[in-house]
Copies of this chain bind each other. A is one copy, B any other.
Amino acid sequence: MKAETKDFYIEQDKMYVATDCIIFGFDAGKLKLLIFKRRVEPQKGAWSLIGSFVKLEENVSEAAQRVLTEITGLKNVFMEELKSYGVADRDPGYRCISIAQYALIRVEDYDRELVEKHGAHWYDMKEVPNLVLDHNQMVADALERLKRKARYQPIGFELLPEKFTIPQLQQLYEAIYQKELDARNFRKKVLSHNVLIKLEEKDKSSSRRGAFLYKFDHDTYQQLLQSGYNFEIS
């Protein structure tokens, strides 16, 4: 949108629109959150979600992708709108509404150097410190959403490497649901959907015997979706 674009709504109020990212990761059997030290006043230096103001000429979703790439070096990350936070006095800096988005990233992929350069850190979800503004609320809301959503859509796979084992997948779901699951029933349920491709390789990093690696079958999943199928885990 160029500066000379006609403004039809001149008598109305304008405000800032920001986007904040709740970045989830999964490492060592635990759900993690990526946060960093706020770089602008007010509350400069306090722990905060990663965010940015939305520019006049960019989509809100683009702004979120931009900031995520800036901090992690990753592109094409799973990201979805959580909700807006629009209370009038939520930001003491000036009237600003924020569109929160949650992202699921594969912790093995991100650019560690870049992340460190931005003063960002991974926190265990159970040990998240106080964050600025309403960011703790955003995190709580995002976790709720993740719990609900992971059940009916195969988004959990976004947190795992391309190739993963069934026990790893189970660990992930146990971390999300905060509940232990029966290994036999879990395996049965997951495999019954026919959206996992079993590979020849094994991952031996967590047992002598090794566990077979699987890949998520996006194509088959898309086809099944067309025919009115419903994914569900647990």
List the interface of chain A (C-beta within 8 A of B): 1, 5-9, 12-17, 40-42, 53-62, 81, 83-84, 86-89, 93-97, 99
Contact = CB atoms under 8 A, between A and B. Distances in A.
Contacts of A14: 14-16
Contacts of A15: 14-17, 54, 56
A223 to B, nearest CB: 20
B17 A57 contact: no
A180 to B, nearest CB: 16
Given A13-B55, A17-B15, A56-B13, A8 B88 contact: no
Contact of A89 (B1, B7, B53, B94): B1
Nearest to A93: B8
A94 B9 CA distance: 7
A84 B84 contact: yes
Contacts of A16: 9, 12-15
Given A8-B40, A17-B97, 12 more contacts: A1-B94, A6-B94, A7-B93, A8-B42, A9-B96, A13-B16, A15-B16, A54-B86, A57-B95, A58-B88, A62-B88, A86-B99
Contacts of A1: 88-89, 94-95
The number of times this chain is found in the oligomer is 2
Contacts of A13: 16, 53-56
A84 B12 CA distance: 19
Q: Name the residue among A81, A89, A97 with the largest chain B CB count within 10 angstroms.
A: A97
A interface majority secondary structure: loop
A217 to B, nearest CB: 24
A60 B83 CA distance: 12
Contacts of A88: 1, 56-59, 62
A17 to B, nearest CB: 6
Given A81-B84, A84-B84, A94 B54 contact: no
A143 to B, nearest CB: 17
A60 B84 contact: yes
